[in-house]
Amino acid sequence: MKGKKCRVAVFASGTGTNLQALIDASMNDDYMAKIELVVSDKDGIMAIDRAKKHGIDYRVIPYSNEDDGKLTAKQTINVLKEHKIDLIVLAGYMRILHSDLIKSYNGKIINIHPSLIPLYCGKGFYGDRVHRTVLEDKCEYSGVTIHFVDEGVDTGDVIYQQRVKIDDGETVESLKAKIHKLEHMSLVKVVDEEARKLL
Ligand code: GRF
């Protein structure tokens, strides 16, 4: 349908630079995804400031241990339905999604991870630890992976990967910056492609 765009919710727990890349891209008329909602498990983070600045609706849904997160999942599903969300993008969201949520949006949840999955992923591999371990292991390459979310941690089908060369004298900071830049470009591209498939 002309003018129709895929309605996207971005889940974030931190600075939200990937969210910002998506917001910037979606300002282009040809971009097929529209960021309708930002969901976070905590308040006072930059990702929420970005949502506010751009007039994007946001919800802080703190994780509750009750029923192993079943209640949190229910609240989240309700908010997603309210906003008629078609696609969920996890971009630095630090919680594992409950299976009820995954089942409700099967094949419509994607995650971005700053390494070449299956390397340096899974429980405990987030933030600087990913890059530090890559450097300790003297890898020649690292990179970015975007994948569908299933009930495991970083185990869903890979949609897109791109590698970066590790230079002599590379540090955690320099590698992180290089990968972050690549993440932004990769996520913008993949979200547009997935949005087109869902329309
Ligand atoms: C990114 O490195 C992403 O791969 C990981 O969390 C980080 C989020 O960064 N899952 P930002 O908040 O989008 O800047």
User: Averaged in consecutive runs of 10 residues, what is the pLDDT profile of the chain (199 residues)?
Assistant: 88 98 98 98 97 98 87 96 98 95 97 98 95 98 98 96 98 98 98 97
Residue bearing the CA closest to ligand 1, atom 5: 92
Q: Please give the pLDDT value at position 67.
A: 84
**Per-residue exposure over 171-183, b if at least 16 CB sit within 10 Å of its own CB, e if not:** ebeebbebbeebb
Nearest atom (ligand 1) to Cα of 19: 13
Report which residue type is found at 146.
Answer: I
Whether 43 and 15 have beta carbons less than 8 Å apart is answered as no
Residues assigned a catalytic role: 113
d(CA 14, ligand 1 centre) in Å: 8
Residue 1 is predicted with a pLDDT of 54
